[in-house]
Chain A
Amino acid sequence: MMQSDPQSAGVWHWLRVAAIGRRPKRTLARMAALILVCGVTFTFVLIPVRVIGLSMEPTCHNHSVNFINRLAYVIGQPQRGDVVGINLSTNTSSGNFNSRPEVMLLKRVVGLPGESVSFASGHVCINGQEQDEPYLKFPTDWQMAPMTLGPDEFYVVGDNRSMPREAHTQGAANRRQIVGRVLWRGNQ
């Protein structure tokens, strides 16, 4: 009668415990719960994004990873200074959790509904008053005549204003286009 080596049986036992735990059914239940929670979280709550481009440097670095929190504006509205994800399509609803845009703009909110927005020497002016923008790290000389925002519009612009203003995607976004707020804001 063949006898199994007690030492190797012990090793295999510990390997099995390490892989599937002492109670496999419980392990399976925990795995299922984890998959469900992750699936719901990363589908309906946090959208993982990879930043491509330089328009939000140095706040959000090119090729960095971040998350858009879709629940940030369930209660409340975007505030000045928030870095938000914006759906490029104007034919959208931010409350529609079934829509997950594959491509979004990542910009900072600098103007709120009803305000007059302009640029002088690169800094944003709200209703004629220059705003303090500590997140601006690069030299800039943008000039833009005042533009009045509609009741549902937010002015969004990137932090890297060292590029020509015409080459930088910026402007008034409708509230419906704002998907959520970024989770990690890097250098404020």
Chain B
Amino acid sequence: MKQIVRFLFLAGMIALGVWAWGVFFPDPQRVIEKRLLKLARLVSFSPQEGDLRRAAKIERMGGFFAENVQAAIDVPGEGIHTFEHRDELMQAAMASRTVANGIQAEFVGINVMLDPDQAGAAADLTLKARIGGQSELIVQQLKFTFKKMDDDWLITRIETVKALR
């Protein structure tokens, strides 16, 4: 019985150590993946969302992007929209909340590749989105480019990747 208790205690300490290591020395790929999942939640909104919450979300979204972020995104039915600055992107995000009757966005299949110098990274993922109450699902492949600035991974580029030539 004593040995079982000792074994369980040891297993618990090892598990705690592994968890603490993950908290204090997080894997950059995992960090970037978590940021992307968080970004998808911030991009999503419901029609009942209040103005204050809307503004707060947009402000938090701004923290994910570098100031000179570039974006080339294929908007279904409208073609490629390009943005050259974070402020432009945030204005577009704000405008989308007045035009669309809610967006549910999800990033799936996130694949993060670190640069050899560990100062940059690229992430491929699939965007799944539903606009308003439409049953049609928008599916798009996106590529995010990250740069590490002041201990934060900021997005410097977003582009739609065509799945088929």
Q: Which residues of A contact B (CB under 8 A)?
A: 52-53, 86, 88-91, 101-103, 105, 153, 156, 167, 169-173, 177
Contacts and interface: CB of A to CB of B under 8 A. Distances in A.
Contacts of B137: 52-53
A177 B136 contact: no
A60 B137 CA distance: 16
Interface in B99-118: 108-109, 111
Contacts of B128: 103
B18 to A, nearest CB: 23
B2 interface: no
B56 interface: no
Nearest to A173: B164
B165 A153 contact: yes
Kindly state the interface size class of chain B when it binds its partner. Answer: 10 to 19
B164 A89 contact: no
Contacts of B77: 167
Contacts of A101: 109, 126
A172 B164 CA distance: 5
Contacts of B139: 88, 103, 105
Contacts of A89: 109, 111, 124, 126, 141, 161, 163
Taking chain A's interface residues, is the majority helix, strand, or loop, or is none over half, making it mixed? Answer: loop
B136 A103 contact: no
Given A88-B126, A88-B139, A89-B141, A103 B164 contact: no
A88 B165 CA distance: 11
A19 to B, nearest CB: 32
A88 B141 contact: yes
B162 interface: yes
Interface pairs A-B: 7 shortest CB-CB: A171-B164, A172-B165, A88-B163, A102-B108, A88-B141, A103-B126, A52-B137
A166 to B, nearest CB: 9
B163 A169 contact: yes
6 contacts: A88-B109, A89-B111, A103-B139, A171-B164, A172-B165, A173-B163
A177 B163 CA distance: 9
A141 B126 CA distance: 31
A22 B140 CA distance: 54
Contacts of B111: 89, 91
Interface string B91-103: 0000000000000
B109 A171 contact: no
